[in-house]
Amino acid sequence: MKIGITCYPTYGGSGVIATELGKALALRGHEVHFISYALPFRLANFVENVVFHEVEMSSYPLFEFPLYSLALASKMVEVAEYEHLDIFHVHYAIPHATSAFLAKEMLSNKMDIKIITTLHGTDITLVGLEPSFLPLVKFSIEKSDGVSTVSRFLKEKTLTNYDIDKDITVIPNFVDTELFKPNSDCSFRKNIASKGEKILVHTSNFRQVKRVPDTIKIFDLVQKEVPSKLILVGDGPDRSECERLARQLNLTDKVKFLGKQDGLVEILTSSDLFLIPSQSESFGLAALEAMSCGLPVISSSVGGLPELVAHNECGFIAEIGDIERMAKYAIDLLTNEKKYKIFSQNARERAVRKFDINKVVPLYEEEYRKVLNKS
């Protein structure tokens, strides 16, 4: 198949999944065309059967705001027509699904291209519920030829919030378990925990919904009982507040802010426990990558996290904001070597069994064929 993929090319989960999916599809013999305003960050190296098409933005005095949605639709038309695409696969509803529908209409006299929209989370639970966007999101979803979500939770939210009567397929996020795998020989660990301390880790975009200050407060309770360090990976609006909190709690020598990092595998394999106390999480890709590296996960009981983290098997789940309970769970695992080993093995096994890239990508291929066969 010839597939056009549009996503946000940034560090967010939707862009990561879209990029890794495109690379996997290319390796399986499909021709993949990425259409976006910048090269997806995980597409830095050449991959056979993958082409990137940049959406160029022009600036005119008449237009007060950039017209990305329209420029994207025009680029989609151009790529679809000259590359003879079969499908637009757009990730994140706004504005990608809307631009895809406009492109499909513009091409209607020449070709019958199909649209598959994958919903990832905040496009439905946050942004899409803005009164100015809600009718547009509803329209774009209903006009898509196929719709998928990354969790059962997000599917139910979509159907309920937008009063949509449409078949939605649940296709979970995935991980390359051959890349994200345990590795006991990590020099990075020796640099961070030179005295053999336990290492807790959290990765996110440091937005309010991720509750990163809770991560620091949990760690503060843990380090009083267990010699440990906390690694925070990522950047965003709440980072300055988190740095201030670490100073206030006298944790500056124990909490390491690493910012955005490409070497995530080495960081995870050097760590012992993953913390994700989010207020909202449609799936939890960061937690899945940690599980694949053999890290037990301590999470909040929101969104799609209970579908990912099996409570009392590969991690623990607590209510939002229950810092004391999450800290208690963490201390329990870090001080019980036998229990920790079982949880670590369970986390790795669950990632391989349910979320391995080679098991999930065929589900997308099946969705493509289903939509194309509707013709």
pTM of the predicted protein model: 0.90
In a domain, 139, yes or no: yes
pLDDT at 184: 73
88 and 36 belong to one structural domain = yes
Shared domain check, 27 and 163: yes
Q: Are residues 198 and 152 in the same domain?
A: no
Residue 181 belongs to some domain of the structure = no
Instruction: Return the number of other C-beta atoms located less than 10 Å from residue 44's C-beta.
Output: 10
Is 198 part of a structural domain of the chain? yes
Q: pLDDT tens for residues 136-178?
A: 889 999 999 999 999 999 999 899 888 888 899 999 999 999 9
Domain that holds residue 263: 187-355
Determine the pLDDT at residue 110.
93
pLDDT in tens, 191-223: 888 888 999 999 998 999 899 999 999 999 999
Interhelix angle 357-373/13-27, rounded to 10 degrees, is: 80
- If asked whether residues 225 and 334 sit together in one domain, one would say yes
The Cα–Cα gap between 54 and 51 comes to 10
Q: What is the CATH number of the domain that holds 275?
A: 3.40.50.2000
Query: Is 65 inside any structural domain?
Result: yes
Q: Do 239 and 148 fall into the same domain?
A: no
CA atoms of 85 and 69, how far apart (whole Å): 20
Percent of the chain surpassing pLDDT 70: 98
Domain membership flag for residue 182: no
Does residue 248 sit within a domain?
yes
Residue 110 sits in the same domain as residue 160: yes
Are 253 and 277 in a shared domain?
yes
Same-domain status, 58 and 168: yes
Q: Looking at the structure, do residues 160 and 205 belong to the same domain, yes or no?
A: no
Which stretches in the chain have pLDDT values below 70? 11, 126-129, 375
Pair (320, 362) in one structural domain = no
| Residues 227 and 300 grouped into a single domain | yes
Answer whether residue 39 is part of any domain.
yes
The whole-number pLDDT of residue 375 equals 60
**Quick one: pLDDT at residue 190?**
83
Q: Does residue 59 sit in the same domain as residue 160?
A: yes
The helix or strand, by DSSP H or E, that contains position 273, with its residue range, turns out to be strand 273-276
147 part of a folded domain: yes
Query: Total domain count for the chain?
Result: 2
